[in-house]
């Protein structure tokens, strides 16, 4: 699998990308049913998913994490999100293992530390 210092990724349609590590920042845009799996992430992170796409990041520190899902998409982040700004429109879901700082979440379909959050 690939590793990168920074990554700007666009997946349109049904593609799939697997990566070991992104060390200094990620910009990810999935349009359609594409999927991305990353083992470790560090740095500023912006994720946009439109459609039924999915992103899974096993571990790391996203400082900050900005994520938006429009549709059925899914984001699972197993690391620490710093000052996360999270948006879900539709029936998609964002799941984050841990967070630090100020949480801004505007959907009931957001789970942080194993609990659903109210919009804030």
pLDDT tens for each residue of 48-101: 999 999 999 999 999 999 999 999 999 999 999 999 999 999 999 999 999 999
Residue 44, classified by CB atoms within 10 Å of its CB into exposed (0-12), middle (13-18) or buried (19+), is middle
5 neighbors 21 (Cβ within 8 angstroms): no
Structural domain containing residue 11: 2-116
Please, which residues bridge with residue 60 across strands?
41
DSSP label of 9: E
Model pLDDT, residue 1: 74
Judge whether residue 119 has pLDDT over 80. no
Which region holds residue 50: left if phi is over 0, alpha if psi is between -120 and 50, else beta?
beta
Number of domains in the chain: 1
Given a cut of 60, whether residue 120 has pLDDT beyond it is no
């Amino acid at each position: 699998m690939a590793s990168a210092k920074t990554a700007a990724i666009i997946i349109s349609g049904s593609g799939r990308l697997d990566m070991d590590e992104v060390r200094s920042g990620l910009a990810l845009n999935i349009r359609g049913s594409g999927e991305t799996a990353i083992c470790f992430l560090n740095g500023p992170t912006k994720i946009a998913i439109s459609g039924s796409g999915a992103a899974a990041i096993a571990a790391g520190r996203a400082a900050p994490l900005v994520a938006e899902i429009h549709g059925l998409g899914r984001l699972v982040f197993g690391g620490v999100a710093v000052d996360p700004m999270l948006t879900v429109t539709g029936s998609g879901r964002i799941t984050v293992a841990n967070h630090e700082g100020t949480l801004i979440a505007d959907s009931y379909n957001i789970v942080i530390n194993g609990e659903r959050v109210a919009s804030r």
